Amino acid sequence: MLVAGIDTSTQSCKVLIVDAATGAVIRQGKAAHPDGTEVHPDAWWAAYQEAAAAAGGIADVAAVAVGGQQHGMVCLDAGGEIVRPALLWNDTRSAEAADALILQAGDGDQATGARAWANACGSVLVASITVTKLRWLRDSEPENAARVAAVCLPHDWLSWRLAGHGPKSQGGDGDIGALLTDRSDASGTGYWCPATGAYRPDLLKWALGRDDVALPRVLGPHESAARTPAGAPIGPGAGDNAAAALGLGLTNGDVSVSLGTSGVVSAICPTPVADPSGLVNGFADATGAFLPLACTLNASRIIDAATHLLGVDYDAVSSLALSAQPGADGVTLVPYFEGERTPNKPHATASIHGLTLANTGPANLARAFVEALLCCQADGLDAMVALGVVPERIFLIGGGAKSPAVRRLAPGVFDGHDVIVPPDGEYVARGAARQAAWVVSGADEPPTWPIDGAKTYQGQAEPIVRAQYAAVRELTHPNH
């Protein structure tokens, strides 16, 4: 029996056709998404169709599910038409809207407001979160805001299209009442509470100015309430991080460090968390547990920047970094090339500290870039530990994990923890496929799919690296 898992990510759409019993990939396809932080969802549908065709189609699958980039604001009118291009998670234009909503919740006091939002939806607001984008829409494009009849997320919208729905202008039924989602993606909106499992229409009204809009029904972890035109059940789907956790088979105490366009540290835990500092988002996972998560805007592109600065390829950056000593002889990078989400500095820039005539060289610079990438993620893990998360296993995945330097330096930055690197794979799509297999099985737990070929990296803690980074990480361009 075959199932399909789809990953509609920031950069592309991936489709995996998987054996439901073993998790073995039988066929796969991929298609690119447009660049930018604002994308019309029709581009996602076109990319899905291309990727599905490359994978041999999904006509023969028993079920399908979609994992997708979180937080993206997809607004539909009463006929199911896209109101405006979707603002993606990495669009920071709503930073001021986030500040305004925090102050509103705190009656003008930021600390009180941050605590209120953490308690209400598990997260202190930053520009990434959907509710802030709706406030921006209300304030910046009131005519478009007035047209909004439904709000959903990228994976919700693609699942809706997979079920045969669509805008009336394109011959679809426009049935916005048929929108569905899951608890993991809903927990990143800012108007759904992981602790209670319910929407907060009052928070939606703060953002959009009204709460009379359709929101997707939140399904259980392996519930299906829709089918493809061919009759295959469609799973509830998941946010990309929860789908990746499902694809990796993470359980309580497991930590995932994902180094892609963004850097994401997440952990499976049995109870919800609320962090008023804003460093940790208290999301839900795709199984019924919780997924505290710290996300950085800057991750694998830090290594891209190193290749540009040094004028060498990725292998050379890795070799140079490994040839230098821990702490790069005092050279430290604060890697906020694209602003930052954790900590919340959307307008910050990157900076290099500690340069002298003696230590300024390619090896130390390369080492500083790799160490900065890992220190960003280690700070996120520290914040989770402070909330009671006890890490037992650390998994390193994503494009950035392909770097030999990143793999070998990770244990030292992560306080000497062993670091497990699974084989390179599409774990978001794999997690969606595993959910689809779970939907078909009807079992209480998802199927067990082994991951062969994982490598474990060991090393001693290198406190000098974290200490140097901590000393300069706040020395950035003013956050205005």
Which amino acid, 13? Answer: C
Half-sphere CA count of 252, side-chain side, radius 13 A: 7
The distance between the two most distant Cα atoms of the chain, rounded to a whole number of Å, is 68
The string over 111-132, giving b where at least 16 C-beta atoms fall within 10 Å of a residue's C-beta and e elsewhere, is eebbbbbbebbbbbbbbbbbbb
Select which of 240, 254, 275, 379 is catalytic: 240
Which amino acid, 474? Answer: E
Write the CA distances from 68 to 343, 383, 419, 449, integer angstroms: 24, 25, 26, 21
Q: What is the enclosing helix (H) or strand (E) of 180?
A: strand 180-182
Considering Cα of 368, then 372, then 375, then 377, what sign does the dihedral take?
Answer: negative
Is position 240 annotated as part of the catalytic site?
yes
DSSP state of 315: H
431 vs 7: CA distance, rounded Å: 9
Backbone torsion region of residue 384, taken as left when φ is above 0, otherwise alpha when ψ lies between -120 and 50, otherwise beta: alpha
Where in the sequence numbering do the catalytic residues fall? Answer: 240
